[in-house]
Chain A
Amino acid sequence: MELLLVILIGLLYASGIFMMLRRSMVKLIIGLILLGNGANMLIFLLGRIVKGKPPLIESSAKMLTEIYADPVPQALILTAIVISFGLQSFAIILVKRAYKITDTDDLDELNTTDEIYE
């Protein structure tokens, strides 16, 4: 499974980058989301994946003893997921506003700050 996930991560990164290199603003955001997903999977995989052993302490036990899934990357990813939602919504709205003001969604036409108000 690890090998499959590795391929998947590579693919997510590649597609994310490819979308970010496009000139359309919407594609930029989609690329951002893909890249974020790729990064989450990367962290998840690097914490080593374990099947069926969530980091929950048994009701009778006082601590985790046997092999369990690593809680630290999970906590990291959890925050990353929520944060990325905030980032995405902000980016979407920013793009929408920029589109409305500049009347273009071609990123190549947004390479100066001065011409907007002319």
Chain B
Amino acid sequence: MKTIIFKTASTYLLPLLVLFSVFILLRGHYLPGGGFVGGLIASIAFVIHSFANGLEQTKSLIKFHPGFLMPIGLCIALLSGAAPLLVGQSFMTGLWFEDPLPVIGMVGSALFFDTGVYLVVIGVTLTIIFTISETL
């Protein structure tokens, strides 16, 4: 699989796809998309990169084990759910900032929740695929 064309393409594809996945994540609340799809697309990006350049390269690119994304993502999701408790509302009530931010749009606890999902999905997928391709 390590042809030069594929290799070169994947180098450019990786940032593009990751960027696209973030875009999908952010627009998820208004248009098709969201944390699950976003996370899956980002994982596919990394998997393609690892196919083209070898697993070691991809790993050194990410710098840390993707498994760490799982607890981080879970914590973000849980905290965004627990945040309303601080202002005296019940668990998982949606909180929103008054004004929309540029580019991202309206920011609320649901967005953080979706980000948590996004990170968990990346962590899970990459952990599974990397572990398998390492040991087999």
B side interface size, CB within 8 A: 10
Q: Are A82 and B31 closer than 8 Å at their CB atoms?
A: no
Question: Across the interface, do A89 and B128 meet the contact criterion of CB distance under 8 Å?
Answer: yes
* Secondary structure of the B contact surface, majority rule: helix
Which residues of chain B are near A85, meaning CB under 8 Å? 125
- In the complex, the answer to whether A93 meets B124 with C-beta atoms within 8 Å is no
> Counting CB contacts under 8 A, is B121 at the interface?
yes
User: B132, A78: Cβ atoms under 8 Å?
Assistant: no
CB distance from B110 to the nearest CB of A (A): 14
Instruction: State the B residues within 8 Å of A (CB).
Output: 30-32, 36, 40, 121, 124-125, 128, 132
List 12 A-B residue pairs with CB atoms under 8 Å apart, sorted by A's residue number: A54-B32, A56-B30, A56-B31, A59-B30, A78-B36, A82-B40, A82-B121, A85-B125, A86-B124, A86-B128, A89-B128, A89-B132
Which 5 pairs of residues, A with B, have the shortest CB-CB distance?
Answer: A89-B128, A82-B36, A78-B36, A56-B31, A86-B124
CB within 8 Å of B: which residues of A? Answer: 54, 56, 59, 78, 82, 85-86, 89, 93
